[in-house]
Structure 1
């Protein structure tokens, strides 16, 4: 065994000088460097979201709703013997002199929290602020320039800032969990005057106790949850931040799948090229008495030695990438992530080993079957059906390994099938396009006729090269443009006067004064009334039994809607059917959004029933409207005539646009109306752009490695193609062609292959971007003429330069020797 290890090491040192082994090791290094940070990030997120879920939730069970907790829920909790406390959370503006920012306010009462603990600087004696005090996160201090002891205004009340909120459980759900937080005592909530009937707030009931009681109460409440209620528990729910982080990680994993597939294909072709060159050596070793099993061990040892070297550097690179990604996302994460499990640090290296062994085993077993007669007659390994079966088994096992590692089975399989189908289609199209282009050349040039013959002979390689080239260029182009052009185009299509501020929580007694404020400062704004209600009937019967499974999933049937009234149809809501009601109409009439009507099967004349704060109301559909939800204007699924809703309690909402030189009026408005909630659209867009940039930067690392893998794969295929062409070049030069003519023939082939592949990649990129424009961003499709120039010329230049660098010219004597060796 010692002798086999020594021979394997000596052979490995010689193999490292070859191009195919360098490509193999580089591809394996990339696979390990990609797999390691993904495994670490996935484990850290899972551990942070599961193992610390109790501390993040702040309780064992949480009941959350948009209405105050009902007394019946409190009675149930008391009967179950559980500890309970209530929390009210809502967005509001926090002001320090002329500086303001939107924060998420938590108004809590003791005991709080029920699980985990609140950490402050400096440490506080109690678990909550005293009345008249407020604790704020560091982001609030930084943005407002706060100091401990400062007095800030929240609604109509002033609070003394007494502590920096370092960490706390129970951050709430949705965007509230990512907003900067402040905590006040629930006793100060009424004095602030922020909450009023119809205000936007989340009311939570936190519960803690023995596991059996929690499970029983959870099961009991899930049977009769209101439409606005939701239960969060350690058994059935992830912490509320899990969805956003999980989606980001899922995107990175699917992006990594492309790089891993390219790496696997590069390793496969490199091993195939390597094994084809080992026939003579294997035949010699077998002739000297080496058993086939020992020969297999010899080459497997070479793979294991190479893996050990690459695993060390690949894991180190992966650790650096993981730290870089965490550093980018650290200031956006609501909680610090715990350390990963020790075994996760070796998962990338394990995946690299699986790639090498599963892809290397079939060609190595094939080498053990090379006959000794190869030394005399050049015989290859005999074909065996069992070898093809082994290839298939190894590929299936490799697919299982990749899908298990990525843990995104359906999405990964769909992406894999899409790539395979796209590659096959582009390969066939490229081959046919090349044949069409060479027809006119074949009539005019001698090289054209030779090229036409070569293209027919090398159909398999052209399909593989073009498929990899088109998919690689398409992927990189889509990601590059989507990170820059799509967001800019979406912002550019917004009108100049697009509202950049929303104001909610406007009470009826504030409406006239706020209208006067807008008129005085020449701010164009319309106040829209809002009443919250739920659809519960259609034509006098319960609506849900009348709907199919798809319709029951519609958003309007599973939550309370914001209902409004208007005397005239909104300017940005053109009618598509029916007529608007006349002034003074007394019967309840409604106008319904067109898409909602289509999906629920509603028609003019139908009657919808609503539950508004426990009171029933029926109204007849008299018109349908087209709503542009991306207009940054207040929009509603259902609009009533005024007489139908004016008896119900309502708040108002409005939006308006302010130029930069007038944005100081926002502070004036909030000082005059401190209970209003202002939403800065510019700030939200900037935060969304920051998320996209961070995610794009993270995926750019993987895509850069995909580019390297794709380049390696193209180089390996070119090497194999050039190796096959050496015999053809030798024959042509023996028959009288010059070395210059054969070089021109190769370069002409590479030039056409690059041009056609680049043009197809441009077409695929435009189609993909067009789909993104129409389905995701809802903006007009636009062409990117730069693609049609850069991609074909860049691909042609890559192939030609690679061919010039890698192509070895043949002298006439070398041609004779090469042809004799092939016979």
Structure 2
């Protein structure tokens, strides 16, 4: 048929259904608003999160190496990030000392020297005293130092300090630096020096161990989270894997204690964005189904006039597309306002600091997804036109019938492909999109099976002993054309989304809020000598009773693994391009290992393989599981450590998981007690103290323990706590948004199935039932539909939440099975309420008017 004629028919057909078309447009807008609101909020939080995490690093990307960067780095960066700002930093350990007086050398201590050139940092706040930019305080003859150095050596601003044989003037103090948001082992207080000042020292000579860092700040239009991760992946592939440089990191990778939480949040946000597709699809499918149910007589008339089913489908699909376009624009406008409104309406739940509300790409993507979802989710109900006979002109009460099997299969495949590509556009991962599509299909099949089972069971239950209201409700579920299967599937999928998101958001939010232990240390004490520990520990216990921990530290190097020298392994791996783990293994093999011993493991260490100190005849070692994987060793492997020239063979008898987010003292390598008792060592200690007690300890150390460095990490703890709290608030608020949106779509879905009940209500009133009686019948039927959908959908949602939390987020979960009957009851109540409200107009309308339509 001529497309122009089809368009004219579509316009004429719509004249008699303007009210229903407006309702369809509103419901399509609701579905699109669900997608745009959730995906827009996800994008807003992800962008805000990227801004927070880059402050952990001071840059978007950091490249690290033990030697100066090879020419390949400049060439690749010129190709991949030509507009990125760069600054190069050197980090090394050195001695800082007071000038000699009367021929007597001044006091000295080990410091961490940081050589900066240009802008530092690109992101975050470098807090200095006096307040100024770092390059304003540094020149070739000045340094900026940590307060701990001033206290330890009795210095003040303006005094002289010797570093690497050159004299510098102390120009200021560094109180906090963003890229030191971590609790890695440190040798001493920080000293900042300019590149010109470093050139005056003798520290650049060959043989000094220098850490080279290249920091990159990308232009705003290239600094999105996905773009940064793509750049990092490419740099790792081209530079790190072949062994040209040691490491490439982004903000999300920089701190082990925080990065796992960030990964969990990213994955949860992705899950919510994917589930928002289901919400939109449910709204579209049910509204189109109800709309077509009301247009069955018009379809029969068109068949009498010679239109083929495919032409009728194209005509209705064109109407859906036009209405969907209007609904998408309206829904996008509503959904786009949500990320902007939520932080202002709920400032305690959705942090403004974590939101970047302007997300035009999210809006466009939401409109595109809305149109695509409208088309693919409208196809299954629209295929009912194939089975509308022209003879149905005389049977206006007829309901739509299923399409032929081949048509249904084709539409089902189109629906699956539409969901798959929509999920791929959000998740950008084939495995995630495929798993989500298959999981959604499995949940839908389970719900359809449950609906058919209920219809079969209801049709065979004896109903003589129950009251008339319940009897009618049971009979209505199993009657032909009741739409029980579609209603249960739609409601069940809605419950599936709502419950899974609610459980994931609550558990993840709780994990984030409890990520920072209450007993996290506020101070680290480094380089404590064994003969100093007894007196120092007494002073610490007096000021922080029960909050002091200390362990011995022995410096060593790994020399042999299972009879193969590490030097030979490194020579064999040079130039390998297998995986990122190979690039990291070079660092694991060459790093200076820090060993300790403990009798019992703390709560933040759990044995995952083997047993701790279980072989009396062997000298044993326990490895952190990730460290063991990087080394490529398993239980039973023999490692030989070089401890100051002495070879110490050890057998791996256990592997441990370490909760790095505890921010306590943890090690990759634990040695059996007694093996290294005679080896030279020092101690490190942690304590949790109030500010006054910590100042007293700092003064005590400056007066009596000049070699010990106290590192104040209170500010770092506060930064971590603030970030985790923001993440918890954001994920909780977004979960609530998704749940509320799901409830709105659920209500709309129930209402859409009730729009065609006018003639049924009129017939029941004609047979003598009152309005209240008809309302009770409708309520019972919808309550039973909702209860079945709530039970099956709730169970599926809990299983999804359990799989996500355990397998993806790596969190434990005590399954709240009690939520299944609660979901069944609440969904039944919601369905009954919405069903009665949707039929309110039909209940008030005179029966003759309804029957004459």
TM over 0.5: yes
Alignment partner, residue 99 of structure 1: none
Cα distance change of structure 1 residues 745 and 698 upon mapping to structure 2, 3 Å threshold: closer
Match of 1:30 among 28, 34, 39: 34
Q: Structure 1's 477 and 31: CA in aligned 2 closer, same or farther, altered over 3 A?
A: closer
Say whether 1:475 aligns with 2:500. Answer: yes
TM superposition shift of 1:255: 0.9
CA contact (8 A) 1:153 1:159 kept: yes
* Pairwise CA distance, 1:356: 3.0
- Distance in 1, matches of 2:132 and 2:580, equals 53
Select which of 264, 274, 287 maps to 2:281.
264
Asked whether the 8 Å contact 1:469–1:714 carries over to 2, the reply is no
Q: Partners in 1 of 2:71 and 2:24 — Cα distance? A: 73
Distance in 2, matches of 1:777 and 1:75, equals: 39
Name the SS for the 1:108 alignment partner.
strand
- 2:419 aligned partner: 399
Q: Distance in 2 between matches of 1:297 and 1:129?
A: 75
The SS at the match of 2:709 is coil
Contact preservation (8 Å) 2:145, 2:191: yes
CA distance in 2, matches of 1:416, 1:538: 45
Aligned to 1:460: 485
1:354 aligns with 2:372: yes
After TM superposition, give the deviation of residue 696 of structure 1 in Å.
1.0
Do the aligned partners of 2:59 and 2:215 also contact (CA within 8 Å) in 1?
no
2:228 corresponds to which residue? none
1:806 aligns with 2:823: no
Match of 2:222 in 1: none
| SS of corresponding position for 1:107 | strand
CA distance in 1 between counterparts of 2:362 and 2:162 reads 49
Structure 1 segment 56-455 matched on structure 2, within 5 A: 56=60, 62-65=63-66, 69=67, 86-88=89-91, 107-110=114-117, 129=139, 131-134=141-144, 159-161=170-172, 184-185=193-194, 203-204=212-213, 223-224=242-243, 229-230=246-247, 251-282=268-299, 284=301, 299=316, 302-321=319-338, 346-360=364-378, 373-376=391-394, 383=403, 387-388=407-408, 390-392=410-412, 394-406=414-426, 407-425=428-446, 428=449, 443-455=465-477
Distance 1:200 1:399, change over 3 A: farther
Counterpart for residue 553 of structure 2 = 530
- Which has the larger displacement, 302-311 or 181-190? 181-190
Please state how far the C-alpha of 1:276 moved relative to its aligned partner: 3.0
CA spacing shift, 1:542–1:562, aligned 2, 3 Å? closer
The structure 2 residue matched to 1:693, chosen from 711, 728, 732, is 728
Q: Deviations over 1:401-439 (max 9, x none)?
A: 403421233223323333433454466568768998996
CA distance in 1, matches of 2:236, 2:728: 43
- Among 711, 720, 736, the residue aligned to 1:677: 711
Query: Match of 2:271, SS?
Result: helix
Q: CA deviation at 1:258?
A: 0.8
In structure 2, distance between residues paired with 1:763 and 1:794? 14
**1:712 aligns to 2:712 (yes or no):** no
Instruction: Tell me the TM-score normalized by structure 1.
Output: 0.66
Cα 1:295–1:597, aligned 2, differ >3 Å: closer, same or farther? closer
Check 1:651–1:129 CA distance in 2 against 1; reply closer, same or farther (3 A cut).
Answer: farther
Secondary structure of residue in 2 paired with 1:527: strand
Q: 1:35 to 1:293 in 2, by over 3 A?
A: same
Residue 478 of structure 1: CA displacement?
Answer: 0.8
SS at the partner of 1:676?
strand
Deviation sequence 1:331-356 (CA, Å, 0-9, x none): 579xxx9998x877633323322233
Q: Name stretches of at least 5 consecutive residues in structure 1 with no aligned partner.
A: 91-103, 141-148, 193-198, 209-214
8 Å contact from structure 1 (residues 89, 107) kept in 2:
yes
Give, in angstroms, the shift of residue 802 of structure 1: 1.3
Q: How many residues align?
A: 742
8 A contact 2:597–2:672 mirrored in 1: yes
Indicate conservation of the 8 Å contact 1:751/1:800, yes or no.
yes
Instruction: State the alpha-carbon separation in 2 of the partners of residues 472 and 216 from structure 1.
Output: 38
Distance, in Å, in 2 between the alignment partners of 1:395 and 1:23 is 19
Q: Which residue of 2 aligns with 1:655?
A: 686
Q: Is the Cα–Cα contact under 8 Å of residues 561 and 639 in structure 2 kept in the other structure?
A: yes
Deviations 1:690-739 (A, max 9, x none): 24225415634xx5255334533454345426746964x67767777666
Take 1:766 and 1:217, find their aligned partners in 2: how far apart are those partners? Answer: 38
Deviation digits for residues 67-118 of structure 1 (CA, Å, limit 9, x no counterpart): xx48xx78999999x999652289xxxxxxxxxxxxx9982255788999x9
Alignment of 1:539-578 (within 5 A): 539-541=562-564, 559=588, 560=591, 563-566=594-597, 568-569=599-600, 577=611
Contact 1:588–1:643 (Cα < 8 Å) also in 2: no
Residues 238-257 of structure 1 show CA distances to partners (whole Å, capped at 9, x for unaligned) of 99689898875554233111
SS at match of 2:684: strand
Alignment partner of 1:609 is 2:640? yes
1:515 corresponds in structure 2 to: 537
Structure 2 length-normalised TM? 0.65
Report what 2:97 is aligned to.
Answer: none
Deviation at 1:395, TM superposition (A): 1.7
Unaligned runs of 5+ in 2: 79-85, 94-110, 148-155, 185-189, 202-207, 218-233, 345-349, 571-577
Aligned with 2:777 (options 741, 745, 768): 745
